[in-house]
Amino acid sequence: MNAKVDKLQNYTVIARLDDAIPLNTEEWLATERLLNQVSEFVPMSMLNALTESIINYADDQARRGYILGQEDLVNELKKKASKIA
């Protein structure tokens, strides 16, 4: 049962990040240009694997950052609630 809850919570975080983080940033466009240049010399299967790896890494970092931010928010709210009580 915990695996199902974890999967749902992870999906919720990913959906929230997808809604909040723009995909076509200057940083991504520069990366995309470089990938297009590299594609002239590298087999497409290797380039696809590289792109997938970059995307997975970025998604994981964003998810971890979101979770850390939520944990910090909860801790801050707990501190404020303890001061009121």
Q: Which tokens in the block code for residue 51?
A: 């792109």
One-letter identity of residue 69: G
Q: What's the pLDDT score for residue 53?
A: 93
Which pTM was predicted? 0.61
Residue that has been written with the tokens 């919570």 in this structure? 9
CA 48 and chain centroid, separation: 19
What secondary structure does DSSP assign to 39-83, as a single string? Answer: TTTS-HHHHHHHHHHHHHHHHHHHHHHHHHHHHHHHHHHHHHHHH
The string of pLDDT tens digits covering residues 39-77 is 899 999 998 998 899 889 988 998 898 889 889 889 989
